[in-house]
Amino acid sequence: MTEIGRNIERLRSEMPQGVKIVAVSKFHPVESLMQAYDAGQRAFGENRAQELVGKVGMMPGDVSWHFIGKLQKNKVRMVVRHVSLIQSIDSEALLRLVDAEAARAGRVVDVLLELHVAREETKSGFSADEMLALQDCGEIAALRNVRVCGLMAMASFVEDARQIEREFGEARSMFERLRCGMFAGRDEFAVLSMGMSDDWRIAVDCGSTMVRIGTTIFGAREY
Ligand SMILES: *Cc1c(COP(=O)(O)O)cnc(C)c1O
């Protein structure tokens, strides 16, 4: 067993039932992804379109690819054909564009709406108000080529566990609110993606159903 394989097994043994692990493989070479694959990992997350598409061709066909980064409009067409989940929908315009490109490609693409909860300008996503406005306009649920499967959120990059908990708590509340509101009766709206290497335990305690783990699996990234 490789070190990466052992890291995944350890993580799995610590993860509560029902929490899905996405291996965030950005900046890591395909050899590292293959070590994770050989340990049974199938969901991988990338944050750059070019890198994702390049890796798709070099990895086995049963990998499911998650896009987790800032998605530029001119990259939507490229990404839509390969992904099983776009986690980082940060505007209504982007959601509509993904819907249009998915229609062109003859697909239905699963997406998560990204909620901005961090006290940091650098992180993106809908504000709570924007998300509620989306709910009020009601048109989103009518889009045919995207399936909104839940929310994604990132906490502030801080040491203060209580602040992180507060932010994940906000995401959880919004998730519940939409689940009983705009997405009521839609069983697919069931994913709450939050938690990374340093804060996944807090995220899971706050109700996360999907964690996105890079460093703990693959080691430090070299940019
Ligand atoms: C890079 C990244 C991660 C993984 O971060 P680690 O701290 O390496 O686990 C998770 N989510 C998003 C959106 C990322 O960009």
**Is the CB of 116 inside a 6 Å radius of any atom of ligand 1?**
no
**Is the CB of 157 inside a 6 Å radius of any atom of ligand 1?**
no
Could you tell me the distance, in angstroms and rounded to a whole number, from the CA of residue 139 to the centre of ligand 1?
Answer: 31
Which of 120-124, 138-142, 167-171 reaches the highest mean pLDDT?
Answer: 167-171
Across residues 76-84, what is the average pLDDT?
Answer: 97
What tokens does 77 get? 């067409």
- What's the CA gap between 60 and 70, in Å, rounded? 25
Question: In this predicted structure, what is the pLDDT of residue 20?
Answer: 98
pLDDT at 194 over 90: yes
Q: pLDDT-based confidence at 200, cuts 50/70/90?
A: very high
**Is the CB of 214 inside a 6 Å radius of any atom of ligand 1?**
yes
Residue identifier of the C-alpha nearest atom 7 of ligand 1: 197
CATH fold of the domain at 3-218:
TIM Barrel (3.20.20)
pLDDT at 223 over 80: no
Q: What is the pTM of this model?
A: 0.97
pLDDT at 140 over 90: no
Question: In this predicted structure, what is the pLDDT of residue 138?
Answer: 72
